Amino acid sequence: MTQVRTRFAPSPTGQVHIGNIRAAIYNWLFARHEGGQFLLRIEDTDRERSTPAAVQAVLDAMAWLGLNYDETPVYQSTQTATHLAAAEQLLKAGHAYKEDKGGTGKGECIIFRMPGTDMGFHDEIKGDLAKKAADMKDFVIVRSDGTPVFHLANVVDDLHMNVTHIIRGDDHVENTYRHVALFRALGATPPKYAHLPMIVNAQGKPYSKRDGAAYVGDFRAKGYLGEALFNYLALLGWSPGGDRELMGRDEMARLFTFDRVQSSAAQFDLVKLLWMNGEYMRALPREQREAACRAVLQERGLWSEALPADYLGRVLDVMAERIKLFTEIGDAGYFFTEDFPFDEKSVQKRLKKEGALEALAAVRATYAALAEFTAASTEAALRELCTARNCGMGDLVHPVRVSVSGTAVGPSLFHLLEVLGQERTLARMDKALEKFKA
Ligand code: GLU
């Protein structure tokens, strides 16, 4: 039995679209499932777009997602001689001919002669696909300037790399009829094909930059984990069966088969990705989670070496359920600085409301008298005060929260207070009372 060999064959443009990297993921999963090889070919024949930085973006995205490949990557631009030799072979065999396109005298290009019969191929995902001879025209394989065209380069490279399965986006289905014909004309058996349905937005249109983060680098910059994006994209069009969703790379590779890849478009769902990222974040070892959050805080100028060693860990215990992205810790800056911003709406609604500051002053007096300042003691004291004042908890909780954090939304108030401690809590209440009076 021949070894399965798949490849990822991106054309570097500077950024790696999630649709492309999902194709890489499926190639990787299938190769690993079959105990075969996963290869990388950089289709860098567009010299203007395929800059070293653009190539590096592909390599970085793959490394970040853990898409390890076998063998040395093939750079298509180094294979021109092989492509042209194949064109010569096609000419000799009568499968191609030369023509001065448009008769401009600029030179002749080489044109591939389609077989002239109806064609079909079996797609591992879409089933049997066919096309009428009348709908397929001969096409250029070498331009008049002597450069090979995509179709020729792509097929010849796959042939030389002994690729057995081509897994790519279904925007290539039309090309595949041409490619199958090329393989046959070169005396080779075409590889197996699996065309992946596109990724679409909520309106069913191809998912693009306009819909939000569309490139691997965007997700990385936003603080997503490579493992979570990998898991999410793998499930965008493939399901292992049952309702299992959180799975590592190796387990997905063990379960991956084409018959569980859907043939209809897959809708990108950011809410689900965020949820998944939160799950991966919480599953990380403590030190790793803290290190990632510390990096975000440092970047935002919110980190101080003077903080107690266990401080960030205590903040994360309180925030754990609320953070789905590392970068979100930066939105809870009030844990780390006295100079936190006040949200105007929250101030209007909670502090400038009739009686709010008077209530805040009453809580301040109660909290100043507490011998022990914990989540339990601050909550009990507030409940007592409520009873005494004959008011609702909200009348006290809301002004307190905005005074110590600047915002009306956040984690459990009493746990927040415990982390801040008595001294800082009282100082912040004093500051708010002063700042917002009249
Ligand atoms: N470079 C092409 C692309 O990125 C190759 C597609 C393929 O054959 O996988 O669309």
* Same domain? 64 vs 203: yes
In a domain, 219, yes or no: yes
* Same domain? 266 vs 359: no
* Same domain? 174 vs 192: yes
CATH number at residue 356: 1.10.10.350
Which residue, of 166, 196, 226, is where some domain finishes? 196
Burial class (CB in 10 A: 0-12, 13-18, 19+), 313: middle
Residue 106 has pLDDT above 80, yes or no: no
CB 404 within 8 A of CB 335: no
* Same domain? 65 vs 214: yes
In a domain, 334, yes or no: no
pLDDT, position 1: 67
Pocket test for ligand 1, best of 15, 26, 155, 172 (most atoms within 8 A of CB): 172
* Same domain? 65 vs 207: yes
Q: Which domain holds residue 237?
A: 5-75+199-271
Percent above pLDDT 90 for the chain? 93
The span from the CA of 161 to the CA of 114, in Å, is 24
pLDDT per residue as tens digits for the range 27-73: 999 999 999 999 999 999 998 999 999 999 999 999 999 999 999 99
Mean pLDDT over 275-282 rounds to: 95
In a domain, 337, yes or no: no
- φ, ψ of residue 22 in degrees (nearest 5): -65, -35
CA of 171, closest atom in ligand 1: 10
pTM score, two decimals? 0.89
Spacing, Cα 88 to ligand 1 middle (Å): 24
The span from the CA of 427 to the CA of 11, in Å, is 58
CB 33 within 8 A of CB 253: yes
Residue 264, CA distances (Å) to 84, 130, 211, 269, 387 in order: 38, 18, 20, 15, 60
CB 400 within 8 A of CB 413: yes
CB 436 within 8 A of CB 347: yes
Pocket test for ligand 1, best of 38, 41, 43 (most atoms within 8 A of CB): 43
CATH number at residue 119: 3.40.50.620
Domains held by the chain: number: 4
pLDDT per residue as tens digits for the range 353-408: 999 999 999 999 999 999 999 999 999 999 999 999 999 999 999 999 999 999 99
* Same domain? 60 vs 89: no
In a domain, 289, yes or no: yes
The span from the CA of 123 to the CA of 247, in Å, is 27
Bridge pairing between strands 139-142 and 109-112: antiparallel
